Chain A
């Protein structure tokens, strides 16, 4: 049973436009949500996170929105650049045992066209 869902396997946008990547989750115990970016043959790298008690967090061109009642979050990239082309993973954190379990979605491949 997948707890973090990214239903769009791919997204293509024009350079300079907005990219919106979506993520849904099922577990109400998640207390933080994170976005990671992954290039081929590299490990994922952290982009931005948001606490479950907030509804928005912004860092430069990247903004994450959280709608807790809908169990939905989205990552907005404005303006999109060709270097943003990568696979984006949504992740969520929850306590399990004495540790913090970090669960990922399937990823969305973003292509930004020049």
Chain B
């Protein structure tokens, strides 16, 4: 059974904290993605990666960074959390070179910044 696992379902952090959201996949996928989902705005792409140590900016990278030290793990980092980063964060993975096939999503992390 394929799996994308996000380390936390719910997180509450304070403004200014450094926040790490972790994502692990067990499918040996090359592509990994981080999105945030907000009401009325859908899923917006923050960063994505196709290989270890490789990263590409998505549509809303400001205020975020990522780390891909191992193929199976893709971390999203909020350097200094702000209240406007309160959101549902979704990680996904897919096979490289098969763009018409599905990306598998984790359950999501609901982050609240207070």
Which of chain B's residues have a CB closer than 8 A to the CB of A18? none
Q: Which of B14-22, B42-50, B74-82 contacts A (4 or more CB under 8 A)?
A: B42-50
Q: Is the CB of B45 within 8 A of A102?
A: yes
Residues from 92 to 114 in A contacting B, C-beta threshold 8 Å: 93, 95-107
Shortest CB distance A70–B (Å): 20
Given A42-B107, A45-B105, A96-B56, A32 and B45 contact (CB-CB distance below 8 Å): no
Q: Mark A41-84, 1 if CB is under 8 A from B, else 0.
A: 11111100111000000000000000000000000000000000
Q: Is the CB of A43 within 8 A of B50?
A: no
Given A98-B50, A99-B54, A43 and B108 contact (CB-CB distance below 8 Å): yes
Shortest CB distance B66–A (Å): 12
For residue A6, CB closer than 8 A to chain B, the reply is yes
Given A98-B51, A104-B43, A43 and B106 contact (CB-CB distance below 8 Å): yes
Given A42-B107, A98-B51, A9 and B45 contact (CB-CB distance below 8 Å): no
Chosen A-B contacts, 23 in total, with CB atoms closer than 8 Å, are: A6-B42, A34-B100, A41-B108, A43-B90, A43-B108, A44-B105, A46-B101, A49-B102, A50-B100, A51-B100, A89-B42, A89-B43, A97-B56, A99-B48, A99-B50, A99-B54, A99-B56, A101-B48, A101-B56, A102-B33, A102-B103, A103-B59, A106-B42
Q: Mark B23-62, 1 if CB is under 8 A from A, else 0.
A: 0000000010101000011111100111100101011000
Q: Is the CB of A101 within 8 A of B58?
A: yes
